[in-house]
Chain A
Amino acid sequence: MKIKEKLIHGLFLFNGLLVVFILIGIFSLLVFTAIPAFKEINIKEFLFSSNWNPTSYVKETYGIGAMLVSTIMVTAGALLLAVPIGIGAAAYLSDVASPKIREIVKPIIEILAGIPSVVIGFLGIVFVGPVISKTFGLPNGLNAVNGSILLGVMALPTIISLSEDALSSVSKTYSDASLALGATRWQTVIKVKIPAALSGVIAACMLGMGRAIGETMTVLMATGCAPAMPRSYLDSVRTMTSTIAIELGEVPYYTTHYYALFAVGLVLFIMTFCVNMTSDIILHKYQGKRV
């Protein structure tokens, strides 16, 4: 009996540790597949040059500068849209809405979260794109603005539901004290609840940012994917994710180009990892304070 219990315990322990192995596995496979690329590519050139032309007949160049800027541009644009709307919606759900309205709105957010990225990207082509091209008088609407809007929509559910969790878990004594001092509900929300939940709200926005950085299909379809350095939001951009998606299918295995794409993947992994870790640390600090 005892042996059986020990065995079962061990089995579950192994199962638990599996996720750690997977995370380490992803990281190390990326590193090992990316390393051969730097036999031929100068790391400095890789990170700072904005010239990505792996199929050139004269001289192949591998610089991720333009993609890095593109990724940062669409992510920043997405956050600009999603953060204010997301926090506003979260504040409404946690402090203004009646339970009945909350029961209606929550499934709406869940359905929005469930819409596949490829469908959002498709709408970027057939719906948002034409609107943008008409508004700004452009030949087509596949550019950084389009990508930002779509990524903003995709980041919204994450930001709303996690910010709402943070706002709802602010101790009721805070708002009671504020109301008792004669503050209106609005003042309480803005001056007491949001500041009290700020770390949770920031963590939520950072998770939304992590999703936007790593999103592939939407930006692949809706941003036009021109590999040049973008000069404005109305330019077509090509993010790191879409570069991998476009080129990995075409390169032969075990070439410098192939390895270089894994190096891009590694940079992407490290970026999202840092964002997620920061969000995690902020959240933990805040949970510690609450106790």
Chain B
Amino acid sequence: MNKKMITEQLGFWTLRLCVGLVGLILLLILFDIVSKGIGTISWRFLTQPPKNGMTEGGIFPAIVGTFFVTILTAVLAVPLGMGCAIYLNEYADDNIFTRIIRMSIRNLSGVPSIVYGLFGVVLFVQMMRIGTCLLASGLTLGLMTLPWTITASEEALKNVPQSYRDGALALGATKWQAIKTNVLPYSISGMLTGTILGLARAAGETAPILFTGAAFFLPFLPKSLFEQFMALPYHLYIMATQHHAIETVRPIAYATALVLIVLICSMNMFAVVLRYKLRKRKKE
């Protein structure tokens, strides 16, 4: 083996080490949370509200709250995201307007989540006078998710071959008819895949809901959009840093983290499997 080969092998092993390290980090994270959280998980933990100053009981209201707020996020971000993607991919010409729109999307996805929180406080809580509630949080998270759903939806639209559109147009269909019958049916599942990934990220966000509606503790579920709610990520934050007996509630914090991770990973897995199946189908 000459010197060149040795350098190459050394180099490649350094690169392998980098990837190995990334894998190891994920493994450590998952192992720590799962091994210390699994013991507290029980049916009662998942279906009961917190009790005795949040030192006992479960996290049911937080699970339900996260579920509700994620649905609200989807209601805002999914249709608007798809609409914007359809405009960019199907209608827009390559001009200055389009470039400004694209630039805005990239910048919106880089705006810190806490800044979305500030925006939500001013616009929804104060200017629109809806107060700190489920709706205000959902809208704030929806705005934050929008750039992700747009990018994902556009990706799906790009994968539809141009000939599908041309075929419909050649038969005399209008542009919208061509989109409706020949583009959307073939891209909708791809759009959903990317959208689910975006929503999974939104479900785990804490900063935007800190000041727009998440509550420290509520024994009941929210009955309307204008009530405060508990959320899993916020509950974990409280249990990890704000509780008066931090050491006693550590197991609850671990279990909350586990539930949150399982929730988000299963949303991600669902999307990844869906995408894998789509790719396979396309290849055939």
Interface residue ranges, A against B (CB under 8 Å):
1, 4-5, 8-9, 11-13, 15-20, 22-23, 25-26, 29-30, 33, 84-86, 88-89, 91-93, 96-97, 105, 107-112, 114-123, 125-127, 153, 156, 160, 184-187, 189-190, 207, 210-211, 213-217, 220-221, 241, 244-245, 248-249, 253, 261-262, 265, 268-269, 272-273, 275-277, 280
Contact = CB atoms under 8 A, between A and B. Distances in A.
A16 B174 contact: no
Given A17-B97, A105-B22, 20 more contacts: A1-B174, A12-B87, A13-B87, A84-B18, A114-B201, A115-B26, A116-B201, A119-B29, A119-B236, A119-B257, A156-B22, A156-B25, A207-B110, A214-B115, A216-B114, A217-B233, A268-B112, A268-B114, A268-B115, A277-B107
A115 B261 contact: yes
Contacts of A125: 240-241
19 contacts: A15-B87, A16-B83, A16-B101, A22-B108, A30-B119, A89-B18, A92-B15, A96-B12, A97-B19, A105-B19, A109-B22, A119-B33, A119-B260, A125-B241, A186-B12, A214-B114, A215-B112, A268-B114, A272-B110
Nearest to B21: A85
Given A110-B268, A118-B233, A25 B21 contact: no
Contacts of A118: 204, 206, 233-234, 236-237, 240, 260
A268 B279 CA distance: 40
Nearest to B250: A126
Interface in B210-244: 210-211, 233-234, 236-237, 240-241
Nearest to B175: A5
A77 to B, nearest CB: 16
B32 A123 contact: yes
A118 to B, nearest CB: 4
Contacts, number: 259
A225 B7 CA distance: 45
A127 B240 CA distance: 12
A22 B264 CA distance: 27
A184 B118 contact: no
B181 interface: no
Contacts of A1: 174
B115 A269 contact: yes
A92 B97 CA distance: 39
Contacts of B12: 92, 96, 185-186
Contacts of A273: 107, 110-111
Contacts of B19: 88-89, 92-93, 97, 105
Contact of B176 (A8, A22, A92): A8
Nearest to A23: B104
Contacts of B201: 114, 116
A253 B204 contact: no
B23 A241 contact: no
Contacts of B136: none
B197 to A, nearest CB: 8
Contacts of A272: 110-112, 115
B260 A265 contact: no
Contact of B207 (A85, A109, A217, A280): A217
A13 B237 contact: no
